[in-house]
A and B are shown apart, each in its own frame.
Chain A
């Protein structure tokens, strides 16, 4: 694909926001509340949080909502009537301020939702989303995108990637897809043609911390290792890591009935919960937390690369930041690399 590079002046972003709003686009952007950043429907440009290294929540909610109705049903004289959701009229959404490690996660999510079954709901939602990635010019000790094939200026998953050229500088905009071009055409004056130098010098430096190929190969023989128990003793068994993760895709199906009618709802679930694998018989194949922790790592670094040719981890570090027990995925991956069988 021919990447078109444009210059966007620092004060043009707000104009772009307003033009998109005038074109009745919904804009989801980072929003700061209680010291944490989540993606919200942004009413104004001023509402958008910019100071963060990483948003607390990933933006996956937009294509894979935490709670979504998948059908309505009612029982009446004419028997059972089932009504699916309208996938034709989903609103167009701009996902604004997504970090490259979040944008690349959309690819991993999509591969899960299109593996053996094409998830029409997920695909229809995603079709309506235009991703505005923003490169990282700073990072912290939780970041490890470069260890899982990413970079702080990775274009994968974004429709337009903005890179700020220095603090308070203008932006380099890489127009990456047709959806990106559609946006440029809405505000052509704001995307100036320009000879722009390389963006690399403006990006955060994230050192490579482990060899992902080596870890994937090692995991094949690691199922019975004691590291799973050692690493997960402090785990409290909540779902914080899974729910902030840009690639965790497990869900539950729940029926909410009100008399003779009701809805079927898809909602997030997590392999960290003890009842996630609980059978009706009472047997639980992952009866202890270490088995659940092993599943989390195996799924991301062994099963997904094997089946879907993609890592289930983008190195965003959200899980480690969110963990109430300070479990750190990077530290644990390094220790897996170092431990001998």
Chain B
């Protein structure tokens, strides 16, 4: 990614931004986030198909935000997350510059988030074939079978909350599960506690999740929790004709339209 390295170096040298968020080589075949604050570190930036961690998670992190204006190497899922975060007033043109990376690994620098939104809206969020097949399989199960599937899958969950920590949309300083007086969701990881946590997570992400799979990729036990949010996306497609994050913030779950087809809302 010669272009990215060159641009990151310029941005730091000219003090256009304080930090460039990108990827670097990790251990073995892994890649990890890199925060370039000195021009000489820009050379460590890499980009290839292994770079799938959703870096948007870092732009709401206190320690990173405090550095000053950020630039971020953003793939399509990262750009979608940024638009969603912007609509929730977590990020704006004053503190973020987006260095888009296209599917062809080409660098596009966006002047502002409106341009990022235009780019993002060219592509529909599509659930991949393997997960689609899994959703179909789950859909065909009886309620009892589906219940058993989820009880079994969620049993190993020990509530490390890596799914929450890796998700750009889970930026709350204090999550509902962390409250114990009163306790809304059981804190311990037992059958009910795990079930309630994952259902709540899916509900809080409905109409906000952009299907990046960061939660699943982060899970140390590879529990397919992303199937829950994918199912929500699928339902959104069926009932509302799909979902795209937008700067207007017309969120699927919190928008009212006078001409809604449902009667109960009038």
Q: Which residues of A contact B (CB under 8 A)?
A: 33-36, 38, 56-57, 66-67, 141-142, 229, 233-234, 236-240, 242-244, 252, 254, 256, 265, 267-268, 270, 273-275, 288-290, 320, 322, 324-328, 331
Contact = CB atoms under 8 A, between A and B. Distances in A.
Contacts of B122: none
Contacts of A290: 63
Given A34-B222, A324-B166, A325-B32, A240 B160 contact: yes
Contacts, number: 115
B217 interface: yes
Contacts of B174: 275
Contacts of B58: 234
Given A233-B64, A270-B160, A325-B53, A56 B224 contact: no
Given A238-B164, A288-B62, A288-B63, 6 more contacts: A234-B35, A234-B58, A237-B165, A238-B166, A254-B188, A256-B183
Contacts of B187: 252, 254, 267
A228 B228 CA distance: 36
B33 A325 contact: yes
Contacts of A270: 160
B147 interface: no
A47 B186 CA distance: 32
Interface of B: 26-28, 30-33, 35, 53, 57-58, 62-64, 156, 158-162, 164-166, 173-174, 178, 180, 183, 186-190, 193, 217-224
Contacts of A288: 62-63
Nearest to A276: B178
A33 B222 CA distance: 9
A326 B51 CA distance: 12
A265 B26 CA distance: 39
B162 A254 contact: no
A142 B26 CA distance: 12
Given A243-B158, A325-B53, A326-B30, A267 B188 contact: yes
Contacts of A327: 32
Contacts of A244: 220
Contacts of B217: 324
B71 to A, nearest CB: 16
A256 B186 contact: yes
Contacts of A66: 158-159, 188-189
A239 B220 CA distance: 10
B221 A326 contact: no
Most interface-central of B156, B219, B222 (chain A CB within 10 A): B156
B27 A67 contact: no
A326 B31 contact: yes
B53 A273 contact: no
A324 B223 CA distance: 14
Contacts of B164: 238
Most interface-central of B31, B173, B190 (chain A CB within 10 A): B190
